[in-house]
């Protein structure tokens, strides 16, 4: 098998399981977080008075990633920019406006920041750098497979777009406003679990850290937000399961 075919095959496999494999990294982060809480010897979390600010910044990084995903999904038509876990790559049209005029893979940029936030919690610079390296290798294959799919389907239109839009680091030189209205129904239907998952992870790390130190000094605002986002997630899940209010619909361009 030629190397480019091997890369594409690996990318398609990773594409199917891209929501689960990073959980392995989260497990490592939890172990390092326990070590940090017990020994407080890591570079980024000392001195201790700044620990709260550092954790707030990590949450901010994750929230920026979530907002990138919200913006991306809200302005894209049906059957594009989806999870598509069961059926593989799907793209009825080529997205080239809005955030896609800034960066070719905005959802993966959002994913990176959403996972980077929790990866920062142990305060271990080597783990953060390892996470960034792993993410680059991991998603490189996925992006390669996706771009092969788009190139085969859209041909010169894809090549023209890809020559002026960067792969992963955004540039706003060629920003072009989306020609679709923002679709809150699609966002609430598809991204309802993202915000809850982010706060759930941060709450888990907070509870874990206090548990191992045997000091029940929990971050109450964080736990409250975890509870609220959890309730919102359950409500939206019930609405989507029992009605068509949050189902994605075909939208025409202006």
Asked if 125 and 140 touch (Cβ cutoff 8 Å), the reply is no
With respect to residue 127, please indicate whether it lies within any of the assigned structural domains.
yes
With respect to residue 245, please indicate whether it lies within any of the assigned structural domains.
no
This prediction has a pTM of 0.84
Number of domains present in the structure of the chain:
1
3-class DSSP state for residue 176?
Answer: strand
With respect to residue 253, please indicate whether it lies within any of the assigned structural domains.
no
Q: What is the largest CA-CA distance in the chain?
A: 61
pLDDT for res 79: 59
pLDDT for res 129: 92
With respect to residue 87, please indicate whether it lies within any of the assigned structural domains.
yes
With respect to residue 252, please indicate whether it lies within any of the assigned structural domains.
no
With respect to residue 201, please indicate whether it lies within any of the assigned structural domains.
no
Contacts of 2 (CB under 8 A, 6+ apart): none
Tokens coding 53: 């600010």
pLDDT for res 85: 42
With respect to residue 101, please indicate whether it lies within any of the assigned structural domains.
yes
Of 124, 109, 107, give the one whose Cα is nearest residue 25: 124
Contacts of 122 (CB under 8 A, 6+ apart): 29, 32, 33, 35, 36, 42
Asked if 95 and 159 touch (Cβ cutoff 8 Å), the reply is no
Q: How many angstroms separate the CA atoms of 50 and 39, rounded? A: 16
pLDDT for res 83: 47
Domain encompassing residue 86: 3-183
Of 180, 136, 174, 158, give the one whose Cα is nearest residue 91: 158
Read off the DSSP letter of residue 194.
H
3-class DSSP state for residue 205?
Answer: helix
Provide the residue-wise pLDDT of the chain in tens; the chain has 254 residues: 555 566 556 566 666 766 677 777 788 888 887 777 776 655 555 556 677 888 899 999 999 999 999 999 988 877 565 444 444 555 667 888 889 999 999 999 999 999 999 999 888 888 899 889 888 888 888 888 888 888 888 888 888 888 989 988 898 888 888 888 888 888 888 888 899 999 999 999 888 888 877 777 788 999 999 999 999 999 988 888 887 776 665 554 54
pLDDT for res 86: 46
pLDDT for res 12: 65
With respect to residue 209, please indicate whether it lies within any of the assigned structural domains.
no
3-class DSSP state for residue 98?
Answer: strand
Instruction: Return the number of other C-beta atoms located less than 10 Å from residue 165's C-beta.
Output: 19
pLDDT for res 9: 64
């Amino acid at each position: 098998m030629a190397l480019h075919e091997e890369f594409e095959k690996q990318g398609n496999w990773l594409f199917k399981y891209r929501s689960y494999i990073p959980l392995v990294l989260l497990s490592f982060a939890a172990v390092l977080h326990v070590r940090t809480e017990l020994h407080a010897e890591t570079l980024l979390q000392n001195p201790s008075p700044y620990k709260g600010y550092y954790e707030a910044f990590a949450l901010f990084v994750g929230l920026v990633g979530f907002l990138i995903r919200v913006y991306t999904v809200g302005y894209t038509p049906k059957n594009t920019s989806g999870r598509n876990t069961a059926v593989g790559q799907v793209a009825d049209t080529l997205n080239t406006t809005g955030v896609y005029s800034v960066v070719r893979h905005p959802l993966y940029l959002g994913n990176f920041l959403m996972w980077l936030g929790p990866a920062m919690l142990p305060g271990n610079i080597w783990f953060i750098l390892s996470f960034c390296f792993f993410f680059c290798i991991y998603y490189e294959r996925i992006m390669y497979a996706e771009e092969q799919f788009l190139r085969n389907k859209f041909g010169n239109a894809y090549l023209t777009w890809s020559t002026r839009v960067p792969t992963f680091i955004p540039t706003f030189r060629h920003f072009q406003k989306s020609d679709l209205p923002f679709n809150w129904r699609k966002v609430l239907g598809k991204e309802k679990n993202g915000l809850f998952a982010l706060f759930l992870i941060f709450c888990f790390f907070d509870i874990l850290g206090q548990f191992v130190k045997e000091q029940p000094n929990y971050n109450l605002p964080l736990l409250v937000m975890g509870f609220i986002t959890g309730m919102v997630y359950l409500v939206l899940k019930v609405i989507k399961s029992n009605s068509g209010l949050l189902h994605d619909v075909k939208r025409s361009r202006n």
